[in-house]
A = this chain, B = another copy of it.
Amino acid sequence: MKILVIDDEQTMQHLLRLMLEGAGYEVLSAASGEEGIRQIRAEKVDFVILDVLMGGMDGFTACAEIRRFTPVPILMLTAIAGSEADKVKGLRAGADDYMVKPFSKQELLARIEAILRRTHTVSIQADSEWTNGALELNEMMRTVRVAGKPVTLTRREFDLLAFLLKNREQVFSREQLMEKLWGEQAYNVTTRTVDTHIKTLRIKIGEAGGAIETVWGLGYKLVKL
């Protein structure tokens, strides 16, 4: 995850870099709006932190300019507290959020995550019903039913089933499943863990469990019933 910090103050650049890198983000720097825009055009940037108060092009202008060619999430920074009008101005310029200095590391990270969560959820389908034979899964409600009867699954079980169901007929290795569902943490965990979850899943979803097939030497797949 690459975050571009656009700010002409050295101190702020340094502070942000410290906070962000500490949280595992990759950080790029730009000392002006113009340079920032150039960088966004030049390479893939996942997130932009933009100071309102800068020499040359101000933050609002830069924000609007960036919005003209990319929907990359933008968090604006301002030194002046309180001005509701400024906040509105920032949001209208296309920023996703607006933060007042000074701020804690915790607040910075929380806001970034909140924005990322939001921009991600917009793309999720409204229709989150998936079925296979007697199996019904509702992603939004996080409920599963087999032949009409509710079944309670734990988080991992649900995620695993939902993933396989959404990618029916496709074979996934344990490693692939771990990466998709466990994310970063996948590397601290044995792949055999997947087996265990598959086992309990098969038991819990009863008659629909037959749909989860073992592909010997490769992994698992969920077949159409």
Contact = CB atoms under 8 A, between A and B. Distances in A.
Contacts of A176: 117
Contacts of A170: 140-141
A218 to B, nearest CB: 6
B216 A154 contact: yes
B102 A91 contact: no
Contacts of A221: 141-142
Interface residues of A, number: 55
A119 B106 CA distance: 14
B141 A171 contact: yes
A49 to B, nearest CB: 15
Interface string A14-58: 010001001100000000000000000000000000000100000
A213 to B, nearest CB: 10
Interface in A77-132: 79-80, 87-88, 91-92, 94, 96, 102-107, 109-111, 113-114, 117-119, 121-122, 124-126, 128
Given A88-B53, A125-B105, A110 B187 contact: yes
A23 B126 contact: yes
A207 interface: no
A1 to B, nearest CB: 16
A102 B129 CA distance: 23
Contacts of A23: 126
Contacts of A117: 175-176
Give me the 4 closest cross-chain CB pairs, A-B, nearest first. Answer: A155-B217, A107-B187, A105-B126, A104-B121
Given A53-B91, A104-B126, A142-B221, 4 more contacts: A79-B92, A105-B122, A141-B170, A141-B221
6 contacts: A103-B122, A106-B124, A106-B128, A106-B140, A109-B126, A142-B171
Interface of A: 9, 11, 15, 19, 22-23, 53, 67, 79-80, 87-88, 91-92, 94, 96, 102-107, 109-111, 113-114, 117-119, 121-122, 124-126, 128, 140-142, 154-155, 169-171, 175-176, 179, 186-188, 215-218, 221
